[in-house]
Amino acid sequence: MVQTMRPDARSRKRILKSLFRFSILCLLAGFAAVACSGGGGNGEGGRQPAKQADSVVLRGAGATFPAILYKEWFSAYRKAHPDTAVSYEPVGSGEGVRRFIGRNVKDEERVDFGASDAAMTDADMAAVDRGALLLPATAGGVVLAYNLPGFEGELKLSRDAYARIFLGEVKMWNDPAIARTNSGVRLPRLTIATVVRQDKSGTTFAFTNHLKAISAKWRDRYGAATYVDWPGNAMRAAGNEGVAGRIGHSAGAIGYVGYEFAHRLGLKLAVLENREGKFVRPDAGGFAAALSTAEMPENLRVFVPDPPGEGAYPIVTFTWVLLYKKYDAAKEPAIKDLFRWCLGEGQGYAPQQGYLPLPPEVAAKGITVLDKVSQ
């Protein structure tokens, strides 16, 4: 019995000794590898490799109007700058401003930049503890898209007609106010259903700012605002995409929406009467003609509620990025580089997506804004 046990005990001792030696050899080999590589270098004379830049994540939220372009921008920028990731939530201008101000927001709602088609007021900017800067990013047109089954031709709407439609006074598509500028075509006897924004919106501000300029009744009753308690049985939707989708699925509908969203869905767009009494199609030429008369002031806050010029489309807007004056050491260079790219190379993406590139002098003023960003 004793003799049968003794060999097993010896075997166990030999195994333990072998494992111990193996462990020591592994440790020595590891130390040797580190020593040969110069303490983590590349093996060439012990030189340290250049430290890789830490990844930076920039978060933004706000206007839906420029969201299509921003998506394209941030994707293209990431491909060229893999160490910087940019996320953007198109939650509407009002919500974007709220998150940017940063009072009583949840951690997951905090942003590094905001976006709004209604440039922040002085009061809003004063409420930002880290300071606020306005950066014009792009521009475009607000269109009246409609859904009229069976209607052939080009719908022309006078200033009086579309103002009264959204005042709730013109309620049928064959109303004389519409028929007057569409002679020779048959308008259906169909109830008009306006489609509007349910959230605080810079697109709403641009449209109502225009209505304020052309209609005394609108000016007295509503004025220019990011949110309106619309008259009549208006259908409400969130974001430009929501409004465009609701128009596309609702017979008799008409609504205001960023050109790029309506264009992507193939919606029919009304030809609108401008300040000079000319009917202008919503396209890049009409938008550019309208914005060519705008002079950007030093605070970079400018609106063009009723542009002059025979070729000017009547409803256009700039849109702004909202930046803090101060960022931490990692984000300050990243935010400046990102938007310097957007104001430069990024402007070339605008026409492909249905927006207007900023005039060079406006982009140059934007660069001066970026120079004010610091740590």
Residues 238, 163, single domain; the answer is yes
Structural domain including 173 reads 141-291
Tell me the average pLDDT across 347-353.
96
- Scan for tokens 């430069």, then name that residue: 344
Domain for residue 266, yes or no?
Answer: yes
Share of the chain above pLDDT 90, in %: 83
Domain boundary pick from 235, 257, 291 = 291
Residues 134, 150, single domain; the answer is no
Q: Which helix (H) or strand (E) holds 101?
A: helix 93-101
Residues 207, 231, single domain; the answer is yes
pLDDT digits (tens, 9 = 90+) for 312-344: 999 999 999 999 999 999 999 999 999 999 999
pLDDT digits (tens, 9 = 90+) for 79-137: 999 999 999 999 999 999 999 999 999 999 999 999 999 999 999 999 999 999 999 99
Residues 133, 146, single domain; the answer is no
pLDDT(49) > 50 = no
Neighbours of 168 (CB within 10 A): 14
Domain for residue 163, yes or no?
Answer: yes
Residues 261, 349, single domain; the answer is no
Domain for residue 107, yes or no?
Answer: yes
Q: In which band, very low, low, confident or very high, does the pLDDT at 293 lie, cut at 50, 70 and 90?
A: confident
Domain for residue 344, yes or no?
Answer: yes
Residues 199, 237, single domain; the answer is yes
Domain for residue 365, yes or no?
Answer: yes
The answer to whether residues 201 and 93 touch, using CB atoms and an 8 Å cutoff, is yes
Residues 126, 164, single domain; the answer is no
pLDDT(16) > 50 = no
Domain count, the chain: 2
pLDDT(20) > 90 = no
Domain for residue 299, yes or no?
Answer: no
Residues 101, 61, single domain; the answer is yes
Residues 90, 201, single domain; the answer is no
Residues 193, 271, single domain; the answer is yes
pLDDT value at residue 152 = 86
Q: Which residues contact 362 (CB under 8 A, 6 or more apart)?
A: 136, 296
The pTM assigned to this predicted structure is 0.84
CATH at residue 108 = 3.40.190.10
Q: What is the DSSP string of 285-333?
A: HHHHHHHTT----TT-----SS--STT--S-EEEEEEEEESB--TTHHH
In 3D space, the residue among 365, 304, 283 whose CA is nearest the CA of residue 117 turns out to be 304
Residues 122, 232, single domain; the answer is no
pLDDT(202) > 50 = yes
Domain for residue 22, yes or no?
Answer: no
pLDDT value at residue 115 = 98
Residues 110, 196, single domain; the answer is no
Domain for residue 247, yes or no?
Answer: yes
